[in-house]
């Protein structure tokens, strides 16, 4: 069978199994949908099993024993399709950085909604020149391409929007995260996820934004101890493994719903209360680093542009750069 057909058949099989999950689909139905014989279906299922997909055969046909925690586009695109249709997945088993790759794809004209995801990053990047640590099979590392027709100064608030979406996704899984301005997600006072927003401008408009997200999903205690800052994981906090694809699906659903409105209205104000409700250190002393000199004062929350309001002595300041130390 030509490679192209095989690819489509894998996707057809995985889509039907996902739709039926945890139930079964007959070989006959898969064959009819894919336009191939039942023997061809069986052969393709064997290949998918060899790749590690947990497909079980029985007299009822085929079924998924569990939802695979994998990023192959033939699985991930159908998995995301129901909640977030139209996401185009670019998957690499290994890449230097999903954000670096997606920036290059953006320059080549990749459309909004392109998702670049990898099992392993060899040079994951964090904010302010830091590196981002992740482990294959345990971490969720992806970058998402956005092309809002808005001014670059306004677009900085997109990083806060992503923070809220990540928090909502984790809340949906039973966690109680808080946000450390501008874009760290904390659980139990430790960092569980980070966001890196990179923007290219053309005259006074954004030409692309690459939203890079790293989540410590199933890292174990021993994986976390070498990290230079206090880090945690969903597994460590919740005590049970979490499906990375589910974190991704929930994040994209929350983020895209907000992003569409944000892009249309060109205003972050509707999310100020959502952000401040989850803001770590609200009403407490903070130091903002990353600018010429640090600023210390009481955190008053973000304003309608996403800037952090800080009371420094008697004076309120609007901070648009740096991060809470
Ligand atoms: C930070 O907290 O400093 C931001 C971390 C962002 C890490 C993610 S992982 C996926 C994407 N690719 C990268 O190289 N970085 C971002």
Q: Per-10-residue mean pLDDT for the chain, 325 residues long?
A: 62 97 97 94 96 95 97 96 94 98 98 97 94 96 95 90 98 98 94 96 91 97 82 96 98 97 93 97 92 90 94 92 90
Half-sphere exposure of 22 (CA within 13 A, CB side): 3
Residues 50, 51, 52, 53, CA torsion sign: negative
Question: Rounded to two decimals, what is the model's pTM?
Answer: 0.94
Give the N- to C-terminal CA distance of the chain in Å, as an integer.
57
User: Ligand 1: which of 116, 180, 196 to mutate, judged by most atoms within 8 Å of the beta carbon?
Assistant: 196
191 known ligand binder: yes
C-beta of residue 13 within 8 angstroms of C-beta of residue 45:
yes
Task: Say what the pLDDT of residue 228 is.
Answer: 67
**Cβ proximity of 123 and 150 under 8 Å:** no
Q: What is the pLDDT of residue 87?
A: 96
Tokens of 47: 């290949």
* Residue minimizing CA distance to atom 16 of ligand 1: 212
- Sequence-distant contacts of 102-111: CB under 8 A, at least 24 apart: 102/143, 102/144, 102/145, 102/210, 102/212, 103/198, 103/200, 103/208, 103/210, 105/145, 106/145, 106/200, 106/207, 106/208, 106/210, 107/200, 107/208, 110/145, 111/145, 111/147
Q: What is the pLDDT of residue 3?
A: 46
CATH architecture of 285-324: Roll (2.30)
6-64 CATH:
1.10.10.10
How many C-alpha atoms does 278 have within 13 Å on its Cβ side?
A: 28
Q: Tell me if 73-269 shares its fold with 285-324.
A: no
Among protein residues, the one with the nearest Cα to ligand 1's atom 2 is 194
The owner of tokens 């290949």 is 47
In angstroms, the CA 255 to CA 246 distance is 14
Where do the domains of the chain lie?
Answer: 6-64, 73-269, 285-324
CATH superfamily of 73-269: Bira Bifunctional Protein; Domain 2 (3.30.930.10)
């Amino acid at each position: 069978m030509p490679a192209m057909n095989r690819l489509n058949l894998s996707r057809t099989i995985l889509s039907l199994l996902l739709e039926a999950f945890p139930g079964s689909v007959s070989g006959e139905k898969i064959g009819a949908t894919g336009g191939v014989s039942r023997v061809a279906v069986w052969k393709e299922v064997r290949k998918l099993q060899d790749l590690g997909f947990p497909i079980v055969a029985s007299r009822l046909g085929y079924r998924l024993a569990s939802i695979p925690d994998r990023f192959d586009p033939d699985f991930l695109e159908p998995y995301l399709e129901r909640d977030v249709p139209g996401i185009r997945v670019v998957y690499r088993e290994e890449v230097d950085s999903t954000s670096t790759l997606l920036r290059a794809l953006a320059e080549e004209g990749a459309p909004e909604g392109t998702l670049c995801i990898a099992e392993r990053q060899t040079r994951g990047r964090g904010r302010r020149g830091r590196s981002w640590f992740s482990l294959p099979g345990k971490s969720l590392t992806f970058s998402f391409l956005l092309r809002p027709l808005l001014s670059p100064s306004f677009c900085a608030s997109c990083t806060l929007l992503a923070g809220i979406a990540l928090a909502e996704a984790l809340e949906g899984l039973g966690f109680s995260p808080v946000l450390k301005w501008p874009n760290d997600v904390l659980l139990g006072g430790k960092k569980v996820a980070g966001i890196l927003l990179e923007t290219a401008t053309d005259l006074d408009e954004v030409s692309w934004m690459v939203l890079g997200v790293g989540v410590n999903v199933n890292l174990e205690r021993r994986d976390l101890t070498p990290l230079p800052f206090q880090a945690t994981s969903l597994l460590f906090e919740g005590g049970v493994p979490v499906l990375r694809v589910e974190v991704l699906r929930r994040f994209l659903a929350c983020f895209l719903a907000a992003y569409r409105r944000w892009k249309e209205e060109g205003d972050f104000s509707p999310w100020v209360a959502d952000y401040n409700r989850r803001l770590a250190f609200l009403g407490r002393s903070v130091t903002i680093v990353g600018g010429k000199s640090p600023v210390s004062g009481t955190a008053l929350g973000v304003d309608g542009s996403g800037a952090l309001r800080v009371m420094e002595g008697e004076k309120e300041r609007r901070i648009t750069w740096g991060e809470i130390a």
